[in-house]
Amino acid sequence: TPTMFSPMTIRNVHMRNRIWVPPMCQYSVIAEDGVPTSWHHSHLGAMATGGAGLIIAEATAVSPEGRISPRDVGLWNDTQRDAWKPIVEFIRTQGAVAGIQLAHAGRKASIWPDWGYEQTGTKPISEGGWQTIAPSAIAFPSYDPPREMTDGDILNVEHAFVAAAQRAVDAGFEVLEIHAAHGYLLHEFLSPLSNQRTDEYGGALENRARLLLRIVTNIRAAVGDGIALFVRFSATDWSPEGWNEEECSIVSDWCLKAGADLFDISSGGNITGVTIPVGQGYQVPLANFIKQHAHGPTAAVGMITEADYANSVVTSGQADAVLIGRAFLRDPQWALHAAVSLGEQIDYWPPQYNRAKPKY
């Protein structure tokens, strides 16, 4: 029975443990050019020295209009690729694996950054925002309405994901995660609440999943067999009329066949006004459902903060790994401290910090 300190290998990618850092937006590209900065180096590097097995960089836009906010990082040009390289290399030197989440925000793009401004919601074009796009011209509540995507728009998004994936590999990332969660573009296609198209991208489940499956297939073909490919899903919209864990398990199985390796399971984000049973590990049952029904590995995320509980998620087999987000923000050495509290002997405490290493 693996513990969260057991190593895990996916394709050619070896993670020293199953304590992973999920993507967490920083809204810190002050120049608004998508180029990662010294903040990203420090932020991600600290968690690499802190014992995480895998660190997935925040939602990284595959095109300028795919950014959640103007301050998001990107991978739509080579300047951005080259700025990621030293960050990835430092993570590697600390024994962790560097991953990156490739994203397009769809109708939830062009918003004011999460900090530094009093305004919220859509950032107007006159203030540096842009026209958003989505499968259907249905606005996210309190946001400006998007433009319904044409066939050409859809093809452009598909190509942008593949090009960003190639740049990510060139930058040294070993894990790529496709963002199909939290109400962003690919989730918008999957959910009947945001996708009311009547063409080959709407209606039946296979149509709503068409774009995601093409992206998975084409990224796998572009990056080869040695790179690990994850998909982050919101497993449910928390609405009886919406996307749900049954549909998610079916699409996950299709993604496995198309070349995906693991599913990072979250929930919600596509609509408002629903009741979400938030609490410790509230999304773990969803990760377990996808694991059991899609027959592929999953990672669980969401209010997993305590070492004992996090370890139990893995040892019980509910998920194959845990993604620790806000707890790592509070304590970038969460994994090292968890090892001490659980009595796990690990050999990757940074030697520079040996004088501060607690006694077991």
C-alpha span between 154 and 240 (Å, rounded) = 28
3-state SS string for the chain = CCCCCCCEEECCEEECCCEEECCCCCCCCCCCCCCCCHHHHHHHHHHHHCCCCEEEEEEEECCHHHCCCCCCCECCCHHHHHHHHHHHHHHHHCCCEEEEEEECCHHHCCECCCCCCCCCCECCHHHCCCCCEECCCCCCCCCCCCEECCHHHHHHHHHHHHHHHHHHHHHCCCEEEEEECCCCHHHHHHCCCCCCCCCCCCCCHHHHCHHHHHHHHHHHHHHCCCCEEEEEEECCCCCCCCCCHHHHHHHHHHHHHHCCCEEEEECCCCCCCCCCCCCCCCCHHHHHHHHHHHCCCEEEECCCCCHHHHHHHHHCCCCCEEECCHHHHHCCCHHHHHHHHHCCCCCCCCHHHHHHCCCC
201 flagged as catalytic: no
Q: Which residues contact 159 (CB under 8 A, 6 or more apart)?
A: none
Residues recorded for the chain: 360
Residue 278 CA, chain-centre distance (Å), reads: 20
Cβ of 116: how many Cβ atoms within 10 Å?
A: 11
Among the listed residues 184, 282, 348, 353, the single catalytic one is: 184
Q: Name which of 240, 250, 120 is nearest 190 in CA terms.
A: 250
Residue burial 17-26, b: 16+ Cβ < 10 Å; e: rest = bbbbbbbbbb
How far is the C-alpha of 235 from the C-alpha of 256, rounded, in Å?
16
Among all residues, which ones are annotated catalytic?
A: 184
